[in-house]
Amino acid sequence: MNESIIFAAGTVFGQLILYEQDSNDYFHEKSNVSHHNGAIFGITYYENFLCTVGDDRTVKLYKFHNNLELLASFFAHEARIWQSCLTSTYILTCGEDSSIRLWSHKSTGEILRCFSVHRCKSVWCMDILRDNDNNKPLIIISGWSDGGVRRYHLDDVPIDSQEVILLNNIIQNDYPRNVIFLNSIIMIVQMNSGQLLKI
């Protein structure tokens, strides 16, 4: 079976462009849509869903099979949105307004949960650890502009409950730019300076 590779790119002009690999291993434009008013900062793909977030403070959720079908579009944050994470039923977003927000795929803009740290300016990055049985997000790990990494548990925990993870041997004024779960125990943090930390 010959499967092609498709990848997505967002532009500063608000375009979402899909590129597809052809039989000669070259990539050509498959689809180009403009639903954002400003730069796209984050693109996430999970199963047959694709989510974009950006400068205009909106979330766009697409169903993807052979083409893109816009399923939902809503105003999500009070400032720019940096990143999103997807499960089969939830969208999580983080942004410049120092919050992480949980939405339903059927969302019209109603927040299901909101986590914030008011002394910080931005939540730069996040990742989720899913429950393999029902694909529900169980734990969120996030990197903040104060240099901190925080972990939130979604089940049976008050909304404002968080666990601060201390990072050792980091450069002064450095902050996380990417976080990822390798598994349920190990996380990798990439700092703005390029330093990688295993926690």
pLDDT for 156: 45
The pTM of this model reads: 0.82
Going from the C-alpha of 5 to that of each of 22, 23, 117, 156, the distances in angstroms are: 8, 10, 39, 40
Task: Summarize the confidence of residues 154-165 as an average pLDDT.
Answer: 59
Model confidence over 69-117: pLDDT tens digits? Answer: 999 999 889 999 999 998 878 899 999 998 889 888 876 677 888 887 6
User: How far is residue 15's CA from residue 33's CA, in Å, rounded to a whole number?
Assistant: 6
Evaluate whether residue 160 is within a structural domain.
Answer: yes
Residue 20 within any structural domain of the chain? yes
Q: Is residue 24 part of a domain?
A: yes
Asked whether 123 and 84 are in contact (CB, 8 A), the reply is no
How buried is 184 (Cβ within 10 angstroms: 0-12 exposed, 13-18 middle, 19+ buried)?
A: exposed
* Residue 180 belongs to domain spanning: 6-198
Each as own residue / partner, the long-range contacts of residues 68-73 (CB below 8 Å, 24 or more positions apart, any chain) are 68/16, 68/18, 68/31, 68/33, 70/33, 70/35, 71/105, 72/105, 72/106, 72/107, 72/108, 73/35
Compute the Cα dihedral for 105, 64, 20, 57 and give only its sign: negative
pLDDT tens digits, residue range 28-44? 899 899 999 999 999 99
Check whether 161 has a pLDDT greater than 70: no
- Which sign does the torsion angle of CA 183, 102, 86, 174 carry? negative
149/160 Cα distance (integer angstroms): 15
Asked, for residue 1, whether it belongs to a domain, the answer is no
- Give the whole-angstrom CA distance, residue 186 versus residue 110: 32
What is the reported pLDDT for 38? 95
Could you tell me the CATH number of the domain that includes residue 61?
A: 2.130.10.10
**pLDDT score for 181:** 85
pLDDT at 69: 92
Give the per-residue pLDDT at 96.
93
Per the structure, the count of domains in the chain is 1
